Structure 1
């Protein structure tokens, strides 16, 4: 058969796969996540009309406690149809609600602001398209499962300890995007849903960020703002880490069993040795992940640098795969197509914060949430901090961004209400970590869902029981922290 005919057959197979995916999505009773996010975006627009506009004074990115002032706002219906930038002669000190046109313009603005993460997700999708086309992923999974005899009751706890430790001690999160497609494929190979493999990674990462024993991303911002030495209090946070990790592993064991996995089932796995090309491809992937973890922590790589690294790794994997240049390029593009929709969702999610910021209501929400904290003694104040962070994280899903906005306010409130500074930081960590496990406005969570090809609605139903359990545990641990003077 000629090369042209082979390419035509491959394109026809890809087209059939895409059509089948579209039909499956159409048959699904779940609401498309873009509909959910657009609804949240419209709600954000409405809030700019309902909620007073206001602003804190800032020193750099940090707010000055007690400096909040309400800003006069025109709530007339004419604002609903206003075109941004058309009122150049208006009072610069006044505020205006966000119009319909402004809300639509927030979407491309959100795409622009999230472009680094979006491009990174697309490139990772393309890279795994190459690995999948070469057969290295399937062969590697088959070999791995044959070694462990397909025992998820051994694999899941071991992997969750490793993944969660990377997050809690080093702050790894986006680095695990490389691992998620492999875990999702592993779950499918054992006859379970892709969501199981996704959850093994995601729950581990969230356990790590909830406790952040030495996670530099939140601690280097949050702790100095309340007068603490960076990384201090690691002992109690490590105890919290063990509690959340044990509960998280137990939850996943239950979900694995409910998914139909049983040690009594006989699953045949290939025991053949990997081919040299497959061995080299998988070795390059493992070494690539190791270099990525070291370099991103050593030189603090951000999205642009990470994307460039993934492009280079993709070229290496394409060369090792034995695929021709055109076939490797086609595989890369096809892999990108699978995560295209979710990449758009990341931009729409960012548009929510754009609308709230343009309407000058974000600081008002922060001020209102912090005003409810402080009364009723230190235990209730700590719980109030936790709840305020849960709600605030929906609007500011960035861990470092939320720390910069909320900690200068919560620190003095904690002092006045008798909440120790370490407990104030702990309330921030718990609230931020828990909301990011569930909220559709979290770009990182949407990136995880994209690479695993799992819808947000389906994920929310799966993870909500654990979210409730973790919330209860967080409130208990905060009470203990106050009582022991942590």
Structure 2
């Protein structure tokens, strides 16, 4: 008996071990960046050191690369690795030597400004959601147009896309499934329609980000350009691509309503009861809710106004800023969103304890994004202090020197697709790749703003399907839609978006 029991235990243990081996989980962005940091540090021992001459604008001069010697000892290199996260946050670039460290004198190189801005906007978003105004506002839109299914889908997708293009709406969408699923079922559609309305709406907004701080903002900081650079072109992409996604979802929804058997997701148990109940009773939209919604809209509109380089857009890149032009950047924006978070919390009636608790929770929810940015910037610091960044650029310069601008733009888009799979975090992807790719655009005759657009478009496209995304997998789980069903549903749209985006980037690069 004892022997039999031992054998059974061993078999059970082997089975559990085998099951654990089969359930491979792709590492998080933080884990990926940890290993990237180690790999880059090791490669710095082997890659030759060198540097470009720089012009008055601080950008490398094509063809001026030359080898240089570095006097870093082994202990110096160990300290570079040890201090990488710290330097990634508040490392100072020495005005004399170009070395980055916390005790140097010069210009801030670390991502402290971006880090605190991410926390501030996280607090603002969390505060607005906590008041219930955003959920209730969307519910009232759904109720008002509830009898016109196609219009409801279009309105909701546009609302989610606005959230995506302005503030990178992602995890925030998970709270809307409880509203959108019964709404779509009551209109005669299926769960796939509900998932697509949210995921594709917000996803295309992120793909065509205009001022999304987690994509456009982080990338602009890494490229040393204004977030407003290229905003007109990105807005044009938004205006074209969002209707494509809306029409794709509406076409599918109408097909399902006419023939329920054509549903890609099928019916789950209890869907008939949910459809009959609809979205249920909705709380009145109070004056506080209306005020909070107005403040949220005004704050994001003011952010856009403060970022756009109006004089340079109208009069060319060398024009002097207008007297009323703010030219704000991350420090001012962080202060703006912190202030408006307090205003939203007070008007929303959260009280002192609710306000402070939400402030801490909002910062905590977004601290992971901030750490990703800091770690990625730390990798850049290691490359800079080891003097291998320009060597990597030089190895790529010959590849793009004789490349036409339109081809270079297309290549930037294609190169960023596998990078987006490797680092699904848009901010982590930007902080890791843009320091290399943006100067490469200088060599290829393509504006840095267009390089940023290529990166964020590739990242947004991949993040519509990436299985490592909590937004995709969590949303599908809430909608009770299998991942394989989602892939079969969305692949035609992915193909359309891929072709249109590639054309946009190629043409934009040619005329930039």
TMscore range, shorter length = 0.5 to 0.7
2:36 aligns with one of 24, 28, 40? 40
Deviation at 1:208, TM superposition (A): 5.2
Give 1:292-371 correspondences, 5 Å limit. Answer: 292-297=303-308, 298-371=325-398
Structure 2 vs 1, CA of residues 479 and 287 (structure 1 numbering), >3 Å: closer, same or farther?
closer
The residue aligned with 1:387 is 411
SS in 2 for 1:273: coil
Assess, with a 3 A threshold, how the Cα gap between structure 1 residues 386 and 370 changes in structure 2: closer, same or farther.
farther
Give 1:190's aligned residue: 180
Aligned CA RMSD, in angstroms, stands at: 5.2
* Alignment CA distance shift 1:151-1:296 (3 Å): farther
Structure 1 contact 389–427 (Cα < 8 Å) conserved: no
Cross-structure match for 1:127: 124
Q: State which of 109, 114, 122 in structure 1 corresponds to 2:87.
A: 109
Cα displacement string for residues 235-278 of structure 1 (whole angstroms, at most 9, x for unaligned residues): xx998776655555567779998688999945324345313333
Deviation at 1:322, TM superposition (A): 2.2
Moved more, 147-156 or 106-115: 147-156
Pairing 1:239-318 to 2, within 5 Å after superposition = 244-245=241-242, 247-249=244-246, 265=275, 267-297=278-308, 298-318=325-345
Distance 2:345 2:167 in 1: 21
| CA distance in structure 2 between the aligned counterparts of 1:255 and 1:106, rounded to whole angstroms | 49
- Counterparts of 2:237 and 2:368, CA distance in 1: 37
**Paired residue secondary structure (1:322):** coil
Distance (Å, rounded) in 2 between the aligned partners of 1:322 and 1:70: 62
Distance in structure 2 (CA, Å) of the matches to 1:123 and 1:181: 16
Query: How many angstroms apart in 2 are the aligned matches of 1:349 and 1:216?
Result: 15
- SS of match in other structure, 2:400: coil
1:107 positional shift: 0.9
- The structure-2 alpha-carbon separation of the partners of 1:477 and 1:188, relative to structure 1 and needing over 3 Å to count, comes to same
Quote the Cα distance in structure 2 between the aligned partners of 1:485 and 1:336. 41
- Over 3 Å counting, the alpha-carbon distance change for 1:251 and 1:40 in structure 2 is farther
Distance 1:51 1:203, change over 3 A: farther
- Asked if residue 67 in structure 1 is aligned to residue 55 in structure 2, the reply is no
Change (3 A) 1:260 1:303: farther
Offset of residue 454 of structure 1: 8.5
Please name the residue that 1:31 is paired with: 27
Deviation at 1:127, TM superposition (A): 3.1
Looking at structure 2, the residues matched to 129 and 188 of structure 1 have their Cα atoms a distance apart, in angstroms, of 18
Judge which range, 287-296 or 392-401, deviates more: 392-401
Structure 2: 5+ residue stretches without partners: 1-22, 91-109, 182-190, 224-228, 254-262, 309-324, 420-427, 464-468, 478-483
Q: Identify if the C-alpha distance between structure 1 residues 65 and 250 changes in structure 2 by more than 3 Å, giving closer, same or farther.
A: farther
Q: Supply the distance in 1 between the matched residues of 2:267 and 2:112 (Cα, whole angstroms).
A: 39
Alpha-carbon distance between aligned partners in 1 of 2:28 and 2:397, rounded to the nearest angstrom: 34
SS of equivalent residue, structure 2 residue 44: helix
Contact conserved, 1:130 with 1:317, CA < 8 A, in 2? yes
Aligned to 2:205: 204
Alpha-carbon distance change, 430 to 261 in structure 1, aligned in 2, over 3 angstroms: farther
Change in 2 beyond 3 A, CA 1:388/1:311 = closer
1:140 aligns with 137
* TM score, norm. by length of structure 2: 0.59
**Alpha-carbon offset, residue 337 of structure 1:** 2.0
Which of 39, 52, 65 is the aligned partner of 1:56? 52
Q: Residue 11 of structure 1 corresponds to which residue in structure 2?
A: none
Q: 2: distance between equivalents of 1:373 and 1:309?
A: 40
- 2:167 maps to 176
Residue deviations 1:103-159 (CA, integer Å, cap 9, x gap): 231111112322222222223333344334433333333223222329885466557
Q: Do the aligned partners of 2:157 and 2:198 also contact (CA within 8 Å) in 1?
A: no
User: Is the CA contact (8 Å cut-off) linking 1:160 and 1:204 kept in structure 2?
Assistant: no
Contact 2:434 2:452 in 1 (8 A): no
Q: Which residue of 1 aligns with 2:455?
A: 432
8 Å CA contact 2:438, 2:448 repeated in 1: no
Q: CA deviation at 1:68?
A: 0.8
Aligned to 1:118: 115
Structure 2 Cα separation of the partners of residues 120 and 481 of structure 1:
29
Does the Cα contact within 8 Å between 2:204 and 2:245 map onto a contact in 1?
A: yes
Cα offset for 1:365? 1.7
**Equivalents in 2 of 1:182, 1:127: separation in Å?**
12
CA shift in 2, pair 1:303/1:217, >3 Å: closer
Count matched residues: 393
Shift of 1:67: 0.3
Contact 2:48 2:388 in 1 (8 A): yes
| 8 Å CA contact 1:430, 1:474 repeated in 2 | no
Q: Secondary structure at the match of 2:291?
A: helix
CA distance in 2, matches of 1:52, 1:439: 34
Segments of 5+ residues of structure 1 without an aligned counterpart are 1-26, 85-98, 223-229, 412-420, 441-448
Q: Secondary structure at the match of 1:52?
A: coil
